[in-house]
Every structure is written in C-alpha cells, then in structure tokens.
Amino acid sequence: MYLCGMKKITLVFLVAGSILLSSCDVVLQMLNQAASVANLTNCDFSLKNVSDVSVAGVNVKNLTQGNLTATDVVKLVAAYQSKQVPLAMNVNVNIKNPTETEAAMTAMDWILAIDGKDMANGVNSKSYTIKPSTTTTVPLGVNTDLGQLFSKEGLESLKNFASSFNNEGISSKVGLRVKPSMNVGTQTIAFPNYIKLEKKTGKS
C-alpha cells in the first residue's frame, strides 16, 4: 500500500511538473511573440511602388506609351460610358527592420486613396517575419472602381491617372494608410492608428 501510494504521489508530481514545463514554454513563446510585436513599432513602413496596374483590363503602360490597340480603346470607352472603370493593381509596402531583433506581423489593414479620396480598403492576413537589418516587401492586391471618381472629367482624366506613374511605379495620385497587427497568444494587438505612408515623388 505504501509503494502504491508513493507511485501515485510520484505520478502526480510528474504530471504537475509536465504541466508546469508546458506552461513555461507557452509563457516563453508569448514573451517572444510580445517582443516581436513590440519591435514592429521600431520598423519603418514605406510605399515601395505600384505594379501590374490595369484600368478596365487595359495595361496602363499601353496608355502612357501610346500602344493602345483597337480592343483597348473599345474597353476604355465602354467602361467610361457604363461609369464602371475597374482598377486592379498591386501596391507594394516595404517594412524595414533597422534593429538587431526580428519583428513579426500577422496582418495588415490598409486604406487606398486616389487624388485624396478613399477608394478601397482591405486586409492582408499573411504572416511575416522581418529579420534583423533587413527589408521585407508586402504586396497588397487592390481592386476598385474608378467610375465615380472620373465620370465628370472624361477619358482625359483616365489618361492623366495612367500617366501619373513614373518608371519606378510611383504615382503622386496614389496614397496609402496601413495598420499592422500581431497575434500574441489568443489576443490580437494592432497599432492604435493607421500609418500614412510617405509618397515618393512621381509625376503629378
């Protein structure tokens, strides 16, 4: 009976020890996550460029370089007349980690503005780890409609928008605000405010 009792006591201690070690691992993991999300506040966010831009299914390079086909013209005129001008593009955000500690991000809410008017918003839910002293690029897929924005100004306004992109894919007409967030345990910690990304100089 004594040996049986000792085995039970030993088992209890082993289980308790296992739970304690498991709890310590969880706590350590949460502390590491907390450190990573805290370090995210030390990172620099900037607008790298805009790529794969199309208006009503027409590549903007065709507009700016004068390479419009008859099909392109038909698409643009039809879109303008219907007042539905779909815009699709990738907006690429750079996250630079200047520290010696890695940073982490679970999601990024974003708001896109064109000519100062909010036109689209969304969430990139992919997780990223930004290594020390490196820069990570986060692509944001944007799909919106320019019909209401340009309906009063005519097709010339669409051409002006397309020609606003410089060779590096930067347009002074495109603005972006982002709000990064990170999961710590079961909690989601987000930046308190949106970050307005600096515009690089492009054509007006």
What pLDDT, in 10s, does the model give residues 43-68?
999 999 988 888 888 887 777 667 77
- For residues 130-150, give the mean pLDDT: 89
- For residues 166-182, give the mean pLDDT: 86
Whether the predicted model's global pTM rises above the 0.85 cut: no
Task: Return the domain boundaries, the chain.
Answer: 2-196
What is the average pLDDT score of the chain?
Answer: 78
Spatial contact of 52 and 106, defined as CB atoms under 8 Å apart:
no
pLDDT tens per residue, range 90-130: 999 999 999 998 898 999 999 999 888 899 999 999 999 99
Question: Is the pLDDT reported for residue 80 higher than 90?
Answer: no
pLDDT at 184: 72
Confidence of residue 34 (pLDDT cuts 50, 70, 90): low
pLDDT at 199: 58
